[in-house]
Amino acid sequence: MRKVLYPGTFDPVTNGHIDIIQRACDLFDKVVVTVAINPTKTPLFSVKERIKFIADSVQDFPKVSVDSFDGLVVDHAKNIGAIGIIRGLRAMSDFEYEFQMALMNRKLAKKINTVFLMPHEKYTYLNSSIIRNLASFNSDVSDFVPPIVQEALKIKFRK
């Protein structure tokens, strides 16, 4: 079985993330979407909430499971038996950081490959920070996030 890991903070998950998950499903037998616990970030949503948002959003994707981890991505990939790590690239600005991480991960785990996937062009400008900012001003984010996330953002930023 060709299993890959798609790690991220997903705070919150966007339609761009869902698009990457679908693309990964087209290429691999199993996709493990993993919510990273990053001690340098202060997330808007808890790990449990983010897992629920993703699981709800991919419930029709039989190849997908959702979990979380704390530590190095390559260690988690090894622990679950993944052959690769999926990373989304939206623009050239993503490339340098992602390239550095891919090379470091290769150094740490030679058998785990990083696979870069681009989302549909309508999602290339999306990121979770922009979504949180829009939602904080009560903007309509329905075109950018799954319905469960849209509702959670409305509740979180209700004034």
Q: Considering 50, 76, 128, 132, which one is annotated as catalytic?
A: 128
Q: Considering 52, 63, 90, 156, which one is annotated as catalytic?
A: 90
Query: Is 11 within 8 Å of 132 (Cβ atoms)?
Result: yes
DSSP state, residue 72: -
Continuous H helices in the chain:
15-27, 47-57, 73-80, 92-108, 128-136, 147-156
The angle formed by the CA atoms of residues 146, 138 and 14, to the nearest 5 degrees, is: 25
Q: Considering 41, 48, 111, 154, which one is annotated as catalytic?
A: 41
Is 128 considered catalytic here?
yes
Those residues with Cβ within 8 angstroms of residue 151's Cβ, 6 or more apart along the chain or in another chain: none
Interatomic CA distance for residues 21 and 66, integer angstroms:
11
Is 76 considered catalytic here?
no
Q: Considering 17, 23, 50, 132, which one is annotated as catalytic?
A: 17
Pairing relation of β-strands 3-8 and 84-88?
parallel
Active site residues: 17, 41, 90, 128
